[in-house]
Amino acid sequence: MYNKVDDFVNSYSHESQVTANQLDSLTDTSLNTPKAEGHSSLGQIALHIAQAPIQILNQHGLGVEDKPVPEPLTAKFIADEYRRTSAAVIAGVKEKWNDAQLHDTANIFGMEMPLGKWLSALEKHEVHHRGQLSVLQRQAGLPVPSIYGPNKEQTDAMIAAGTMPGQNNPGGDSSQSAQG
């Protein structure tokens, strides 16, 4: 639940930079990587990340137009579309709603929750699928930029340099583990 428009804007501005950065690392050939037999592909998940922000808030009057998806889908379209939709969400939320309105009930996809909860769900939904995408990216042989801390290559470098937090105290008291 967000009680303040600023809290959402600050948080989502940060997360959406991370997401945009990650989408930039996709390649056209990676888009067909499957999750598992019969499941969504990497490209479908990435496109869902790009479209969901406006699909959710358009249900509550955001009023941002969909863009036709090109055939074949390209990595550049996904990254550009995500930048457009996430920026439109940040600008739209700032412009259309105030702190008090975050407590108003919003009916989105037939489900009623306060708007402030929907904004939190929008962010978490994206983080969830971004996490899924990161696994498929690795499986497609692509690098994944750091998300909530060092990525695999940065971690390997820290371990090699002996600067990984907790490295000298494996499994030990976590209150001391960051001082390494």
Which chain residues interact with another protein by CB under 8 A? Answer: 1-4, 6-7, 10-11, 15, 35-36, 39, 120-121, 123-125, 127-132, 134-136, 138-139, 147-148, 152, 165, 171-175, 177-178
Closest distance to another protein from the beta carbon of 4 (Å): 5
Whole-number Cα distances in Å, 115 to 3, 17, 128: 9, 23, 20
Please count the other Cβ atoms lying within 10 Å of the Cβ belonging to residue 92: 19
Quick one: 74 or 134, whose CB is closer to another protein? 134
Smaller CB distance to another protein: residue 80 or 166?
166
In whole angstroms, give the CA distance from residue 120 to residue 137. 25
Burial letters 24-62, b for 16+ CB under 10 A, else e: ebbeeebbebebeeeebbbbebbbbbbbbbbbbbbebeb
Closer residue to another protein (CB): 9 or 76: 9
Q: Cβ of residue 50: shortest distance to another protein, in angstroms?
A: 16
| Displacement of CA 74 from its chain's centroid (Å) | 19
Backbone angles phi, psi at 41, to 5 degrees: -95, 170
**Minimum distance, C-beta of residue 139 to another protein, in the bound complex (Å):** 6
CB nearer to another protein: pick between 5 and 78: 5
Minimum distance of another protein from residue 116's CB (angstroms) = 8
Closest Cα to residue 20, out of 99, 80, 61?
Answer: 80
**CB nearer to another protein: pick between 76 and 151:** 151
Least distance (Å) between residue 154 CB and another protein: 14
